[in-house]
Amino acid sequence: MSTDLVHVVDDEPAILDSVAFLLETAGFEVRLYEAGTELLDRLAKSAAGCVLTDIRMPGIDGLELLRRLRSAGHRLPVIMMTGHGDVPLAVEAMKLGACDFLEKPFDDEPLLQALHTALGCDGPAEPVEPALRDFVRRVGTLSERERQVLDQLVAGGTSKEIGRTLDISPRTVEIYRAKLMAKTQAANLQELVRWSVLAGLT
């Protein structure tokens, strides 16, 4: 059962309670921490499982927690919970070795799927090479404008911000976004960002 252990870090008790209830109901073993320092203090060197942490917390935030885990030699897979508009932070987290991120509020199923995937890998996620090559190939089919919108999306830009940067309307940005999502076959922004980071496009 220890391999199905999830260390949950969030400074909001209500979030901890709701996530713990969901995960325990789904059969996971759960340990809760209200701060990154608490996790670092209590985590054994040979700890099993994975870490699910909020990215924005007082004191040590999710990114710093990830850095400290890695510098201490911990190879546990880490999933970041991010707020709306935290895409640049999520990109940074992926570059530091996080294996996934989930934007709040998220549904139960994506969280459980992300945890099952994380628990099935040893340390930071390594992309499946053929799938990564397919994604890069699909990005290569984008028009110049679609690629510009992709770059702006992965940088965390909203439709309004991207419209201002590219001197087009937010509605036009949405059209390009729909086209590039279809061409890259990304299910959502989270998946688009994840694959773009793994492919070194950011």
Residue 157 maps to a domain: yes
Give the residue numbers spanning the domain of 175. Answer: 129-198
For the chain, percent of residues with pLDDT exceeding 90 = 53
Task: Look up the pTM and report it.
Answer: 0.78
> For 130-161, what is each residue's pLDDT tens digit?
777 899 999 999 999 999 999 999 888 889 99
**Boundary-marking domain end, from 119, 150, 171:** 119
Q: Is residue 152 located within the same domain as residue 179?
A: yes
Three-state SS annotation for 142-191: CCHHHHHHHHHHHCCCCHHHHHHHHCCCHHHHHHHHHHHHHHHCCCCHHH
Q: What is the mean pLDDT of the chain?
A: 87
Rounded (5°) CA angle 139-140-145: 75
Q: What is the mean pLDDT of residues 172-176?
A: 95
Do 50 and 84 lie in one domain? The reply is: yes
